[in-house]
Amino acid sequence: MTLLLSLTSGSLRSLLDPKADPPRTLHDVPGFTSNQLGLRGLSLHVDMLSGAAAADLDTLRHRADQAGCPCLVLVDDEPLEIASEDADVRAGVLDRLGRLAAAASRLGCNSLSVRVSLPAGDEAALDRGIELVQQAMVRIERQELNLLLAPGPGLAATSEGLSDLIKRVGGFRIGALPTYGDPHTQEDPIEFIRKMAPYAGAIHLRCEGFKRGGAHRGLDLAAGVQAAKAVGYQSNLVIDYVGEGDPAADIRRAAEVLQAAIDAE
């Protein structure tokens, strides 16, 4: 495998306007990503699908396939209470995971990513969380999807806690979606990527835009790529633009920096 550069759908939120003439909607994102930005895949944020019917998902998949920019990961950023003592809450989480898996499969994604929340230092809670994820994996694997866990409150805020959860759930279709510069974790960002990359099905890199002199406003993007490469990561690197400038210009610049880091010996 080789490193692939792709984009989060949320990176282009500010460019979408259903009231424009012609309208600019989520259905236009794959074509813009491929034709204007030169990126070949999407991490699709669940909240951008609010109100979408099955036909909308089918259209989005068709447009993505046409553009050569497939939906690779369906991303849910709302932390899931996988270790709740309330049986109704756990049932609701299982139902949500099932519905997300169905949507991810319909979109042609290979993975579903969710944030998980569970108390640190509570072995009983950890056991409940593991059991719930294992139950969910039955349906997720049936859809031929991978489940990628992202950092969340409590134990999952650390690389040690998140990797331990992944190992204890077990199986070939469970992994991680770490973000370089993730505000949900307080660890050193380079060490976090080094520790989580071996479990990662995709890695998001936060792009905060660029200063007038060309320097990135956030973390050293090239260093994030180098950290992943150093531990043998060879998969999907995803630009997650969170800046306030021109998204297209900043994303193009980020792609140049990341591609140079990918190509560097």
The 10s digit of each residue's pLDDT in 171-197 is 999 999 999 999 889 899 999 999 999
Those residues with Cβ within 8 angstroms of residue 82's Cβ, 6 or more apart along the chain or in another chain:
90, 93, 116, 117, 118, 128, 129, 132, 133
Alpha-carbon distance of 173 to 144, in angstroms, equals 9
The 10s digit of each residue's pLDDT in 121-155 is 889 999 999 999 999 999 999 999 999 999 999 99
Torsional class of 102: left (φ above 0), alpha (ψ -120 to 50), beta (otherwise): alpha
The 10s digit of each residue's pLDDT in 70-126 is 999 999 999 999 999 999 999 999 999 999 999 999 999 999 999 999 998 889 999
Q: Which domains does the chain have, with CATH numbers?
A: 4-263 (3.20.20.150)
pTM comes to: 0.95
